[in-house]
Amino acid sequence: MTDQEKMRLWVETCKRAGPELEATRRREIREADNVKVLASLEDAFNHAITHPPRPSSGLVEMQARFAKLRK
C-alpha cells in the first residue's frame, strides 16, 4: 500500500467516524456535571490565586540545571 493510499484510507476512516465521534462529544457535554467539574478544579484555582506565576515557565531553569550536571 502506497503512502497516498494510506492517506486516502485514513481520510475515509475519519469521514466515517466523524458523525459517531460528534454524537459522543454532544452526549458527553449534555451529561457533564459542571458543579462536580468545577469542584475538582477548586484547589488548582485557589493555588493559582495565592501563588503568582513565575517570570518563566521553568524550562530555562531546568536547562541550566541539566547544563550543570553535564559539567
**pLDDT of residue 54 exceeding 90:** no
Q: Cell numbers for 6, please give them.
A: 494510506
Residue 53: pLDDT band with limits 50, 70, 90: confident
Q: Is the pTM of this model over 0.75?
A: no
